[in-house]
A and B are shown apart, each in its own frame.
Chain A
């Protein structure tokens, strides 16, 4: 029996807060999925027309193209400082930064920690894919022990490069942040958990509560040299052992 289009109900569509621009991400990479989730949250909270997104340097450098919202593209690592400037200038705006692990947890270490410690009323989305995607797969501060990257061709040796940094746990030692959580996207349940966390992180800002950080474990099939399916499995079975999921701070 062929379906009559007139009787069909739309159950899935592009979030209204996203533009028609095509994503620049590789197949199987979680950046696209995460962008969709943020778009849905902006829709649900009906805040896109008072939101300013921060596009970092990294694979998501083009993030200013995805949202029907104002954006600022910023220097590598400085997203939380720029977010501070925007939010202090116009507290009525909803400001979120979207940053890779190199951006947030390496070159932007100082900016990331101090914005959290000042309790800036912003929302930070921290995409932990354990690698520098944009520049061709170099080691990130979050790269796992023994993980091969172009700058750790024999695998990350902790004697030379230290251990993967658990940045959210560091932020969680501070007294000021309102909400710090680590989520993942490797299966439907975790996609739903991430959606809830991101919604909460934006709602906190809308309510004027303060700083929220959502770390999202993400995949990089291209630079991990894995298929998208293998990549999801790798996150679920291996990465989550080093970076355990769940809330680290919830003072909401």
Chain B
């Protein structure tokens, strides 16, 4: 393991990307992820790697497409309005089976919204924000160290499955400083060659990167292959964390920064003798449907808590069906629910 560093969430994501062997980073400035861009601007050129401040998020994601197609590890980052612009490129990347990492440090919406932390882009990230039947792997870190770990993992999963992976963070996580220990850097030259990439057709047939097929049967086959890949990912890559769920009467379902806050709520509630547990999805897609379903067999209530009007809540209700009560508590506008307000909400649902 490398040295211990005190860094912001945004910086940790950037530093982890560098250590994962990211060779090309393209982005357009936006709050609250400016430190990520700055860390890359300060470090990528020094390492002989590419940093480009693109003319727009549309351009940045298209640059990612080119670099991913050329077979290198590549990343872009932005916040909500910028991620909306990237949706065109994300759909093309998914359709062309290109690996890359996209970071969304989510802020309040809709529209220009504000720059306060939010989880209001869950639908966009997990249900396909662009056109077509596609999925991204979506990872929701809840602490600064976990943001680093999941960024490293994102590059691995992207290459393994040839899929765009999104880190869904929020402004709070981006700005928060915590001590982290990051793994030693990976030498990009040590990564396996990508035989499908456009590296020059010397001594082989041309490689073509595309998301285009005029024949409906052909396009159906492409879609079938994508769906088969998504099933494999769903089978292998579900990640989540459970805290004190064994004897719980009520379980809070929460991800990201709110997942972390809810850990404190569990402690506070237990101190008062209320048996509360926490279920924290780490992969938001694939969503941990089966484990949550199993949990719903033995608890009365699963309370979803989010910084949104109730987006992950829909996946919770799909998993739980009618097996347990599924109330919701959320704040919008960039308001972060306090542990006290969440505890009060919990108390409404315990007998």
Which residues of A pack against B, CB within 8 Å?
48-52, 55, 61, 64, 67-75, 78, 81-90, 92-93, 110-111, 113-114, 118
Which residues of B pack against A, CB within 8 Å?
23-24, 26, 50, 52, 54-56, 58-60, 62-72, 74, 88-89, 92, 96, 198-203, 206-212
Highest count of chain B CB atoms <10 Å: which of A49, A64, A73, A89: A89
Q: Whose C-beta in chain B lies nearest to the C-beta of A65?
A: B208
List 9 extra interface pairs beyond A64-B210, A90-B72, CB under 8 A.
Answer: A70-B198, A72-B209, A75-B89, A81-B66, A88-B52, A89-B50, A89-B66, A110-B59, A114-B59
B58/A71 in contact, CB under 8 A: no
- Inter-chain CA distance A111–B60, complex, in Å, is 10
- Inter-chain CA distance A69–B208, complex, in Å, is 9
B69/A86 in contact, CB under 8 A: yes
Please give, as numbers and ranges, the residues of chain B lying within 8 Å of A72 by CB-CB distance. Answer: 65-66, 69, 198, 208-210
Please give, as numbers and ranges, the residues of chain A lying within 8 Å of B96 by CB-CB distance. Answer: 73
- Inter-chain CA distance A229–B96, complex, in Å, is 40
A89/B71 in contact, CB under 8 A: yes
A52/B210 in contact, CB under 8 A: no
- Inter-chain CA distance A208–B59, complex, in Å, is 23
Please give, as numbers and ranges, the residues of chain A lying within 8 Å of B210 by CB-CB distance. Answer: 55, 64, 71-73
Contact with A111, one of B59, B64, B67, B212 (Cβ below 8 angstroms): B59
A70/B199 in contact, CB under 8 A: yes
B92/A75 in contact, CB under 8 A: yes
CB B73 to nearest CB in A, in angstroms, measures 10
Q: Whose C-beta in chain B lies nearest to the C-beta of A117?
A: B55
A78/B58 in contact, CB under 8 A: yes
B59/A81 in contact, CB under 8 A: yes
- Inter-chain CA distance A93–B96, complex, in Å, is 21
Q: Whose C-beta in chain B lies nearest to the C-beta of A88?
A: B50
B74/A69 in contact, CB under 8 A: no
- Inter-chain CA distance A75–B130, complex, in Å, is 13
Contact with B72, one of A52, A82, A89 (Cβ below 8 angstroms): A89
- Inter-chain CA distance A52–B70, complex, in Å, is 9
Please give, as numbers and ranges, the residues of chain B lying within 8 Å of A74 by CB-CB distance. Answer: 62, 65-66, 92
Give me 18 A-to-B residue pairs in the complex whose CB atoms sit less than 8 angstroms apart, sorted by A's number. Answer: A50-B202, A52-B70, A64-B206, A69-B201, A70-B207, A75-B65, A78-B59, A82-B63, A84-B52, A85-B26, A85-B62, A85-B69, A86-B198, A88-B52, A89-B24, A89-B50, A89-B72, A111-B55
- Inter-chain CA distance A56–B88, complex, in Å, is 14
B200/A73 in contact, CB under 8 A: no
CB A208 to nearest CB in B, in angstroms, measures 16
B67/A89 in contact, CB under 8 A: yes
- Inter-chain CA distance A92–B199, complex, in Å, is 9
- Inter-chain CA distance A239–B66, complex, in Å, is 34
Contact with B66, one of A48, A50, A51, A83 (Cβ below 8 angstroms): A83
Highest count of chain A CB atoms <10 Å: which of B65, B66, B201: B66
CB A117 to nearest CB in B, in angstroms, measures 9
